[in-house]
């Protein structure tokens, strides 16, 4: 069968099972847009290419399948650089197709030429410049393979216009042997001797903590994690990237650690004698000052990316492997050492000599009782953002997908939501990309139309990518957006208040410029405004009843509320600040 | 030294260097990916040499890395993540046979010419070009020998000088297991 490169590209995406492409056409990608008309693949026309990238990310986060975006050369391609960087930081599988000027024009500074493979070299897992139409099916298969195996990540395929216009004989690589990836060998199972050593360390620990990261979700290891925690009775912290990987209501769940983590999660790690790091990477937002982090802990570190092992913190037992497989192997090894399901130990086994964890658990519950997350809603006072998050949580199904922007609202969303299921939390962790929430929520809703999707966004973030609500209206994608409108770049304002003597430099935004309700309506959404605590629940209820278009609620929240607890940047986690100091609370 | 600078701080490279031999696919842009990784991660390079291998699908990049800028293990594991990197082996300097090539044009008028030619003879180099006021010398050898030679000819006045950067193979009297092939068997070694 003779096909053009463009037809082969679309057919290859179909062969990969792609159901949706987020994109926006232009000159260099024009040939590829023509066969889209005849394809079963749905195309969603975005209003800005950054939106396409974040939609693809949101889709990938909730489905576990790679998100696909397609854009033109030059500015189209550079507009999707931010989502690629975001996906690289958070290990999100993305396949981005960019148009490129004709091979004969490459290097001549042709109209809309941009060397996008060079630009994105360090922020993709890999990228390809296709120079021959015959390579297209193979490269597409390679791209999906690389994006989705090992540590997932974004990839980019750059397709010059003459390549998509030229003819080729269609084929499809039927097996991995037909791919040309001699240097790519992702790992799966762990090293058996290390598995045994890990199991022994676990059985000797008196104050163990499981430090669960986003890798648990990538490896689809939430069930394995639960089995492991329950069998060992070891408490679990879930990082910002791992919210939902372990149910917040579980008695062993300590919640989120890190810069804005809760006191118990942060302090448990500081006092632990063993950290079992599963798919987590000792990010500086979790460790605080590295040299003061968990000083007494031995470390078991499991990660599919060997380069993470020992990168920040030396591991006593380092295991390169898929989290789900390695956790199952450790559970099996624990069984061999006498730890039975339900946590009881066979007599005369290693497990029978295990230290009693009861004093540790008692200490943890004491901390939980003494230092819960708190805020105070004054009657008739400014609306507290935490109250809005709690109201949303309490009046939505518990499998609602929550998508956050970046800033204070993101931290409150993570702190005050109660995550019960994996893949219900979508956020930009490693990159902290403002503007992520609206498009990512749209992508998430496309991936899981059966679920309610709420974005909790900041007023600053919303203004960066709000135009994608036009896309959502046009495509009838009924996402719901809660803007926690504090009239500020709140997180930056908080730092200026605390660390720059309240000298506020370029952080004020205004509560009513723009008019978010009118803006929402202009974009085909329902817009509402909420100013008092009493109005919160009815507005959410009304939003929940809408299913044919997007809804935006402008919650006017207290501009001076700060996120606590807080470990100041660069400080030790021991120096956690639990709440506002005397006299500061009323601000 | 600035992160990821190329070239040592003047003198010969000491114990802080290590040789990493990277077999890469012979595809466009691969060298940029390797170099980009070093700059992105702040790893320092002392020297770098690239050449095709006996298999035309692959090239070999010999990199002398500064193991003070980052742990060797971290450098190797990050390199191994590059999709176009097929195999990596690392050699400690004492386990390696290293060679480097130097080309130098030295000022040598009729009066000094004899002395320069004598030096070249002692070091078993070759005169490859002769002009009225200068001669061009080629010398291949162990990097420290090249360093010595460079210092000795410097007083005559160096017009131009180029060194290739070193290439290396494991010493034969050592057990070959010391040549640790990182990739290839990597799936099994667990990288613990
Ligand atoms: C693209 C981008 N630019 C700048 C920043 C720095 N930054 C982090 S949080 C923040 C403020 C966000 O403001 P808003 O969306 O209103 O959220 P709030 O903190 O007020 O809840 C800024 C500017 C960023 N993370 N991303
Ligand atoms: Mg704000």
Whether pLDDT at B2 is above 80: no
pLDDT at A136: 98
Residue A530 lies in a domain: yes
Q: What is the mean pLDDT of residues A105-121?
A: 97
CATH code for the domain in which residue A469 is found: 3.40.50.970
Query: A158: how many CB neighbours lie within 10 A of its CB?
Result: 26
Poorest-pLDDT segment among A44-48, A319-323, B63-67, B79-83:
B63-67
User: Considering only CB atoms, which residues of chain B are within 8 Å of chain A?
Assistant: 24-25, 28-29, 32-33, 36-37, 40, 57, 71, 73-74, 77-78, 80-87, 183, 186-187, 189-192
Place of tokens 């999709």: B83
Atom of ligand 1 nearest to the CA of A485: 16
With 80 as the cut, is the pLDDT of residue B45 above it?
yes
Is A369 a residue of the active site? no
Q: Can A112 be counted among the known catalytic residues? A: yes
DSSP reduced 3-state for A478 = coil
Q: Are strands A274-278 and A253-255 parallel, antiparallel or unpaired?
A: unpaired
CA distances from B50 to B72, B74, B81, B141 (A): 20, 22, 19, 18
Q: Which helix (H) or strand (E) holds A520?
A: helix A516-522
**Residue A433 in domain:** yes
Note the pLDDT of residue A267. Answer: 98
pLDDT at B190 over 80: no
Q: Tell me the pairing of strands B180-181 and B85-91.
A: antiparallel
- In contact, A283 and A215? CB cutoff 8 Å: no
Q: Look up tokens 């559970």; give the residue.
A: A331
User: Are A129 and B28 within 8 A, CB to CB?
Assistant: yes
CATH class of B97-170: alpha beta
For the sheet containing A236-238, what is the strand order?
A253-255, A236-238, A208-212, A274-278, A298-303, A317-320
Q: What's the CA gap between B96 and A567, in Å, rounded? A: 48
Is the Cβ atom of A527 under 6 angstroms away from ligand 1? no
Active site annotation includes A161: yes
Q: Residue B190 — left, alpha, or beta (φ > 0 → left; ψ -120 to 50 → alpha)?
A: left
Does ligand 1 have an atom closer than 6 angstroms to the CB of A432?
yes
Q: In which element (H, E) is residue A473 found?
A: helix A468-474
Residue B81: band (very low, low, confident or very high) from pLDDT cuts 50, 70, 90: very high
Q: What is the pLDDT of residue B16?
A: 78
Mean pLDDT of chain A: 97
Q: Do B82 and A183 touch (CB under 8 A)?
A: yes
Question: With a 6 A CB cut-off, is A387 part of the ligand 1 pocket?
Answer: no
Res A582: pLDDT = 56
Residues A362 and A410 in one domain: no
Nearest chain B residue to A317, by CA: B192
For residue A582, being part of any structural domain is answered with no
Instruction: Answer whether residue B191 shows pLDDT above 90.
Output: no
Predicted local confidence at residue B187, as pLDDT: 34
Co-location of A402 and A549 in the same domain: yes
Distances, alpha carbon A295 to alpha carbons A125, A283, A290, A292, B67, in Å: 33, 16, 9, 6, 26
Q: Which positions 93-122 of A are in contact with B (Cβ < 8 Å)?
A: 117-118, 121-122
Q: At residue B30, does pLDDT exceed 80?
A: yes
Ligand 2 center–CA A554 separation, angstroms: 11
pLDDT value for A357: 97
The CATH number for A285's domain is: 3.40.50.1220
Is the distance from the beta carbon of residue A486 to the nearest atom of ligand 1 less than 6 Å? Answer: yes
Share the mean pLDDT of chain B.
Answer: 84
Cα of B164 vs its chain's centroid, Å:
7
pTM for the structure as a whole: 0.93
Residues forming beta bridges with residue A167, ordered by sequence position: A4
pLDDT the model gives residue A342:
78
The DSSP result for A92-113, as a single string, is --EEEEEEE--TTTTTTT-TT-
**Interface contact B25-A320, CB threshold 8 A:** no
DSSP-derived letter for residue A383 is B
DSSP β-bridge partners for residue B134: B107
Q: Does the ipTM surpass 0.85?
A: yes
The pLDDT assigned to B15 comes to: 64
Burial class (CB in 10 A: 0-12, 13-18, 19+), A368: middle
Our CA angle for B132, B136, B141, nearest 5°, is 155
Among candidates B173, B181, B9, B149, which has minimal Cα distance to B96?
Answer: B173
Q: How far is the CA of A226 from the centre of ligand 1 (A)?
A: 34
A554 vs A550: CA distance, rounded Å: 13
| Segment A573-579 mean pLDDT | 95
Question: What was the pLDDT predicted at B169?
Answer: 87
**Are residues A102 and A70 part of one domain?**
yes
CB contact under 8 A, B25 and A121: no
- Catalytic (active site) residue A7: no
CB contact under 8 A, B36 and A121: yes
Name the residue range of residue A311's domain: 192-370
Partners of B87 on chain A (C-beta within 8 Å) are 183
C-alpha span between A155 and A176 (Å, rounded): 18
pLDDT band at A532 (very low <50, low <70, confident <90, very high): very high
Ligand 1: distance of its center to the CA of A492 in Å?
7
- What is the residue extent of each domain of chain B? 4-91, 97-170
A467 is catalytic: no
A199 alpha carbon, distance to own chain's centre: 30
Q: Indicate which of A121, A145, A182 best probes the interface with B, i.e. most B CBs within 10 Å of its own CB.
A: A182
| Domain count of the fold of chain A | 3
A174 vs A162: CA distance, rounded Å: 26
Q: What is the pLDDT of residues A229-249, one digit of tens each?
A: 999 999 999 999 999 999 999
Q: What is the pLDDT of residues A440-474, one digit of tens each?
A: 999 999 999 999 999 999 999 999 999 999 999 99
Report the pLDDT value the prediction gives residue A404, as an integer from 0 to 100: 98
Of B25, B77, B192, the CB nearest to A183: B25
pLDDT of residue B189 exceeding 70? no
Of A117, A191, A311, the CB nearest to B190: A191
Do A234 and A167 share a structural domain?
Answer: no
For chain B, state the CA radius of gyration: 19
Instruction: Tell me: pLDDT of A372 over 60.
Output: yes
Cα–Cα distance measured from residue A426 to residue A342, given in angstroms and rounded to the nearest whole number: 32
Among A272, A274, A333, smallest CA distance to A299 is for A274
In the prediction, which pLDDT does A99 show? Answer: 98
DSSP classification of residue A577: B
Distance, in angstroms, between A285 CA and closest chain B CA? 19
- What are the tens digits of pLDDT across the range A393-408? 999 999 999 999 999 9
Largest CA distance in chain A: 77
**CA of A107 to nearest chain B CA: how many angstroms apart?**
14
Instruction: Please report the pLDDT score of residue A415 as a whole number.
Output: 98
Topology alike, domains B4-91 and B97-170: yes
Q: Do A319 and A351 have their domain in common?
A: yes
Secondary structure percentages of chain B, helix, strand, coil, to 5: 30, 40, 30
Say whether both A230 and A346 belong to one domain: yes
Do A392 and A535 fall within a single domain?
Answer: yes
**Integer CA distances (angstroms), B97 to A444, A497, B19, B142, in order:** 57, 61, 11, 8
Question: Residue B184: pLDDT above 70?
Answer: no
pLDDT of residue A190: 84
Q: How does pLDDT run across A193-229, given as a tens digit for each residue? A: 999 999 999 999 999 999 999 999 999 999 999 999 9
Whether A490 and A559 have beta carbons less than 8 Å apart is answered as yes
Listed residue (B140, B139, B168) closest to B61, CA to CA: B168
Confidence label for A581 from pLDDT (cuts 50, 70 and 90): confident
Contact A55, A69 (CB under 8 A): yes
Alpha-carbon distance of A484 to A481, in angstroms, equals 10
With residue A12 as reference, give the H or E element that holds it: helix A5-15
Mark whether A302 and A216 lie in a shared domain. yes
CATH of domain B4-91: 3.30.70.260
Q: Are residues A492 and A441 in the same domain?
A: yes
Residue A184 lies in a domain: no
pLDDT tens, residue by residue, A138-174: 999 999 999 999 999 999 999 999 999 999 999 999 9
Same domain, A116 and A210: no
Choose the most confident range, by mean pLDDT, from A511-525, B38-52, B63-77.
Answer: A511-525
Please give the radius of gyration of chain A, using alpha carbons only, rounded to the nearest integer.
Answer: 25
Measured in Å, residue A158 CA sits from the centre of ligand 2 at: 37
**Cβ-based neighbours of A109, under 8 Å, separated by 6 or more:** none
- Domain for residue A576, yes or no? no
pLDDT > 70 fraction of chain A, expressed in percent and rounded:
99
């Amino acid at each position: 069968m003779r096909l053009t490169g463009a037809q082969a590209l679309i057919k290859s995406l179909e062969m990969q099972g792609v159901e949706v492409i987020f994109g926006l056409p232009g000159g260099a990608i024009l040939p590829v847009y023509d066969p889209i008309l005849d394809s079963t693949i749905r195309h969603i026309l975005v209003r800005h290419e950054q939106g396409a990238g974040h939609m693809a990310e949101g889709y990938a986060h909730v489905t576990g399948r790679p998100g696909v975006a397609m854009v033109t050369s030059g500015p189209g391609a550079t507009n999707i650089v931010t989502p690629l960087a975001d996906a690289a930081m958070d290990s999100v599988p993305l396949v981005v197709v960019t148009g490129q000027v004709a091979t004969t024009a490459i290097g001549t500074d042709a109209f809309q030429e941009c060397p996008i493979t060079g630009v994105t070299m360090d922020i993709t897992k890999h990228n390809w410049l296709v120079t021959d139409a015959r390579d297209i099916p193979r490269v597409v298969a390679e791209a999906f393979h690389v994006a989705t195996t090992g540590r997932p990540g974004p990839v980019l395929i750059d397709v010059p216009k003459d390549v998509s216009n030229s003819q080729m004989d269609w084929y499809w690589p039927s097996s991995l042997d037909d791919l040309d990836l001699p240097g790519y060998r992702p790992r799966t199972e762990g090293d058996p001797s290390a598995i045994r050593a890990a199991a022994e360390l676990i059985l000797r620990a008196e104050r163990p903590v499981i430090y669960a990261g986003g890798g648990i979700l990538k490896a689809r290891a939430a069930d394995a994690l639960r089995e492991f925690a329950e069998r060992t009775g070891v408490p679990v912290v879930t990082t910002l990237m791992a919210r939902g990987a372990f149910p917040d209501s579980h008695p062993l769940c300590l919640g989120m650690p890190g810069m804005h983590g809760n006191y118990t999660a942060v302090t448990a790690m500081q006092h632990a004698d063993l950290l079992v790091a599963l798919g987590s990477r000792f990010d500086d937002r979790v460790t605080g000052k590295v040299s003061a982090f968990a000083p007494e802990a031995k470390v078991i570190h499991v990660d599919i990316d060997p380069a993470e092992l020992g990168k920040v913190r030396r591991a006593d037992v380092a295991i390169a492997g898929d989290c789900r497989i390695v956790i199952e192997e450790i559970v099996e090894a624990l069984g061999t050492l006498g730890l039975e399901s339900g946590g009881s130990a066979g007599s005369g086994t290693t497990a029978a000599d295990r230290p009693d964890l009861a004093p540790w658990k008692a200490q943890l519950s004491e901390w939980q009782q003494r230092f819960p997350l708190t805020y105070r809603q004054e009657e008739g006072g400014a609306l507290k953002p935490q109250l809005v998050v709690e109201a949303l949580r309490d009046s939505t199904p518990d499998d609602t997908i929550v998508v956050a922007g970046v800033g204070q609202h993101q931290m409150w969303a993570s702190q005050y939501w109660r995550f019960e299921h994996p893949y219900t939390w979508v956020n930009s962790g490693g990159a902290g990309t403002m503007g992520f929430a609206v498009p990512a929520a749209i992508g998430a809703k496309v991936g899981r139309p059966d679920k309610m999707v709420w974005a909790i966004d900041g007023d600053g973030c919303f203004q960066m990518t709000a135009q994608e609500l036009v896309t959502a209206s046009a495509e009838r994608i009924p996402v719901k957006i809660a803007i926690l409108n504090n009239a500020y770049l709140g997180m930056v304002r908080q730092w200026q208040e605390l660390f720059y003597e309240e000298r506020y430099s370029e952080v004020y935004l205004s509560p009513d410029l723009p008019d978010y309700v009118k803006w929402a309506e202009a974009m085909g959404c329902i817009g509402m405004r909420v100013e008092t605590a009493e109005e919160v629940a009815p507005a959410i209820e009304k939003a929940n009843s809408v299913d044919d278009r997007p809804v935006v609620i402008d919650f006017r929240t207290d501009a001076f509320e700060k996120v606590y607890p807080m470990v100041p940047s660069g400080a030790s986690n021991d120096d956690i600040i639990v709440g506002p100091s005397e006299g500061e609370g009323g601000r | 030294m600035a992160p990821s600078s190329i070239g040592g701080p003047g003198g010969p490279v000491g114990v802080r260097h290590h040789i990493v031999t990277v077999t890469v696919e012979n595809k466009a842009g691969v060298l940029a990916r390797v170099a980009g990784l070093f700059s992105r991660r702040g790893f320092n390079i002392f020297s770098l040499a690239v050449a095709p291998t006996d298999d035309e699908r692959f090239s070999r990049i010999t990199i002398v890395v500064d193991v003070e800028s980052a742990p060797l293990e971290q450098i190797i594991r990050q390199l191994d993540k590059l999709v176009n990197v097929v195999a990596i082996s690392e050699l400690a300097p004492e386990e390696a046979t290293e060679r480097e090539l130097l080309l130098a044009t030295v000022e040598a008028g009729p009066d000094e010419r004899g002395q320069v030619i004598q030096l070249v003879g002692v070091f078993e180099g070759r005169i490859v070009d002769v002009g009225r006021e200068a001669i061009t010398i080629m010398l291949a050898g162990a990097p420290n020998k090249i360093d010595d030679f460079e210092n000795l000819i410097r007083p005559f006045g160096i017009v131009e000088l180029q060194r290739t950067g070193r290439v290396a193979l494991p010493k034969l009297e050592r057990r070959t297991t010391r040549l640790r092939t990182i990739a290839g068997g990597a799936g099994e070694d667990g990288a613990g």
